Structure 1
């Protein structure tokens, strides 16, 4: 049909067709130039057939390029006539249902949770047979394995031979048929789902690019310690006064989802530079119960840099310093900034370029906008330092004493948990606490580059700068 419509006759129209499809599908697929014209069209149709609603979008693009033509109508009729086939045939469902009936291993719920990770709330099944049958009715996100295929692969780790081999062979065949071999390999690289470990709840807050009085709150909740990144949750729009309440709702929903796990939990706030002054660790949970308490009483609470996470060109040095930190989390690798460091242009850049330094303590809260050549926070990000600490009110000399004291009582390798421990100790017996209560407002930026969030290309200028609001709004 595409040949009849003239798309094999002109290379420029095929180039335009691919460009429009990339935009409409938000998918950067490519078609080799060295293919013959008809082969290029076959490749275009093949690409669209592997993307959710891809052929329907192809019909829309053809209508845009050839409006009102007979070929467009015929092409859409062809797409509409394509039959919908079950991922699992009735015979296969019956075979595996019989073999899995009554099988309810410890990892069943974790396997269902990971396989159906875009299904909210996570379904509950009596045994693996019911899960296999019911998950066959769920769709997958674009580029993701169908939940039933992912479940077959995950539950195979709980099965004995020869059933485990049969399930893996079946998932191999399904992934190959659906052209999702890479997705299956990625699933296998994660290993079996984990029922314990450390879970993370990442909450991102951004100022609305159009209305400066409003904020966007998004979150990523990790339900499986072996899986990263987790799916992104709902994004809500709120005011400054409503931020704390929205965050409390996200945490409450997370705790309900984690009700049957005994894992440790860390709360991370992903913030742009302009919001680093938010006292997020003091925000309250359990507000709906009428007995709110600050986050740090229950969780290690840290912040992360949205600008750094969004700027790939800063990631190499960041990963390098983090790797060194995991091997030697020592107070000897901490640089304590002094006010004189920013008097000369790029002096602090030169100091932090020494790979000896892996963590820094700033002289105060970073300003909302960077000071070119004389900015402590920007210099630390640009040098790749993964841990940055400051206090909003006391001097860096006092913070130096507190950090050194903390390092003396324990290593800094798990600074978030260490900070929470000393905050609780100070509350239990403030009069004898050697930090004088200062640690209660200590801010810890703890940035692990191995746990990136899928933010995409945000169009920002990199660490320290603000994003182009016109670009983001559009």
Structure 2
């Protein structure tokens, strides 16, 4: 319920609504109240007139309701509507005053980034359109307090704070090292309070606090299409059949890819089918961030030039390769990266996330494979390497196996042997330690160069295990 001190805050919000005149607001409130009327003293000073309106409207429940409805009429779609609703005491309070004051202090220290995209994420696309005019993390939090939740679903305002805190912990440099800890303490307190009301929501909040986000190196809230391609275990009838499985990962809080249909089709149809999946993912895009493409290829297909598959645009425009418009990376599977090497893999990835890892460029001249393998294993600081040949050549295949055995999560190679020297010169800068986290984005930019249009990038996050779902109905083409 609003108290006497709220009239100052209400007046301030009213005065912040663009082009709202006090006299118009009074007329609208009177119209809402009908015969009850409203006797508001006039003032030539706009702010004072709004203050008088606030004083008189907060005096009764009927006037408060009329004020909120009038503001909704004049400021539909603006965050001031929800602010007035809360200040007028018509929205249920989800937080104790002390908790709300504390989180306001913390959120005013946070850089929120793309608020419109974050709104879609925290409401899982189920909220109304994000209002214009939100400029800070605190303003977004205030608005989300009044976005309806449902039992067993974590409230959007708590999901929002958890995502901001996760970004501080896993992604952004610690320019305010105490902030992430203070946000964590506040969120754990909310978890404890939730336990008494909604244990399912409390468990979801705890998972957000404990597990890394699915896109650890990014802050732009991407959607990811994951495509697995394997040779079909059926007799070869001359069409070279393949099995294609795909998942879509849109959740920004946890790794939970949604599996699509399994399809069997001839090798000549692979590129066209994957482009169809990409276009469908674009149609369903709601995140606000880019669409990423990840491929899990059978070991004998690891050099398949998936980034070169063309997207036909029109009869008047030339086709564009997927790698020209999307970040295309490869991921390993159990056959490429055996489980008994996962400890080293995770250790190297953790070093990479701390920004401490380096890159080993294997010399082009013939190097003894045992020595290369030894360099990769003993180079404890290494998290990435550049092969001297593609893995469909025996030398490149052996080098890739050495990198996997050493646990390196990032491996690059040029599929075109003739362009290898130029390729190495071009990528020299982007594989430096300070730029490694942006490597997929860097390679996307470099693919405009002829020497890099066929570059392959194995980018392997161990915190994102292969999705294991029951296989849906299989379709053959």
Q: TM-score, normalised by structure 1?
A: 0.54
Q: 1:230 aligns to what?
A: 257
Q: Is the 8 A contact 1:196 1:261 kept in 2?
A: no
In 1, the alpha carbon distance for the partners of 2:323 and 2:345 equals: 27
Shift of 1:315: 1.2
Q: Deviations over 1:13-69 (max 9, x none)?
A: xxxxxxxxxxxxxxxxxxxxxxxxxxxxxxxxxxxxxxxxxxxxxxxxxxxxxxxxx
Deviation at 1:158, TM superposition (A): 7.3
What CA deviation, in whole Å up to 9, does each residue of 1:287-338 have, x standing for no partner?
Answer: 68985421122212111222467632221111222222334477x6323244
Residue of structure 1 in register with 2:305 after alignment: 279
- Give yes or no for contact 2:213–2:254 (8 Å, CA) kept in 1: no
Q: State the aligned residue count.
A: 312
User: Using the alignment, how far apart are the partners of 2:415 and 2:214 within structure 1?
Assistant: 41
Q: 1:349 aligns with which of 364, 367, 373?
A: 373
Q: What is aligned with 1:377?
A: 400
1-structure distance, mates of 2:193, 2:312: 47
Shift of 1:154: 4.9
Match of 1:393 in 2: 416
Gaps of 5+ in 2: 1-89, 93-114, 131-143, 162-189, 470-477
For 1:301 and 1:266, the matched residues in 2 are separated by: 7
SS of the equivalent of 1:219 reads: strand
SS, match of residue 269 in structure 1 = strand
Identify if the C-alpha distance between structure 1 residues 277 and 419 changes in structure 2 by more than 3 Å, giving closer, same or farther.
same
| Partner SS state of residue 274, structure 2 | helix
CA separation in 2, counterparts of 1:326 and 1:191? 11
- Contact 1:204–1:271 (8 Å) recurs in 2: yes
Alignment match of 1:439 (pick from 452, 455, 459): 452
2 CA distance for matches of 1:226 and 1:198?
Answer: 12
- Offset of residue 230 of structure 1: 2.1
- Equivalent positions of 1:294-443 (< 5 A) are 294-307=321-334, 311-328=338-355, 333-338=359-364, 340-342=366-368, 346-354=370-378, 355-367=380-392, 375-394=398-417, 396-407=420-431, 411-424=435-448, 426=449, 437-443=450-456
1:268 and 2:290 matched: no
Structure 2 CA distance for aligned equivalents of residues 423 and 453 of structure 1: 27
TM value normalised by structure 2? 0.53
Change (3 A) 1:415 1:182: same
Q: State how far apart, in whole Å, the 2-side matches of 1:380 and 1:193 are.
A: 24
Counterpart selection for 1:448 from 455, 458, 461: 461
Relative to structure 1, is the Cα distance of residues 274 and 290 closer, same or farther in structure 2, using a 3 angstrom cutoff?
farther
Displacement of 1:167? 7.0
Superposition pairs of residues 20-419 of structure 1, within 5 angstroms: 110-111=121-122, 113=124, 149-154=151-156, 157=159, 169-172=196-199, 175=200, 185-186=206-207, 189=210, 197-211=221-235, 213-258=240-285, 260-285=286-311, 292-307=319-334, 311-328=338-355, 333-338=359-364, 340-342=366-368, 346-354=370-378, 355-367=380-392, 375-394=398-417, 396-407=420-431, 411-419=435-443
C-alpha spacing 1:409/1:209, structure 2 compared with 1 (3 Å): same
Task: For residue 198 of structure 2, give the secondary structure of its aligned residue in structure 1.
Answer: helix
What RMSD over aligned residues (CA atoms) do the two structures have, in Å?
4.6
SS of the aligned residue for 1:281 comes to helix
| Partner secondary structure for residue 341 of structure 1 | coil
User: Could you tell me how far apart the structure 2 residues matched to 1:444 and 1:357 are?
Assistant: 16
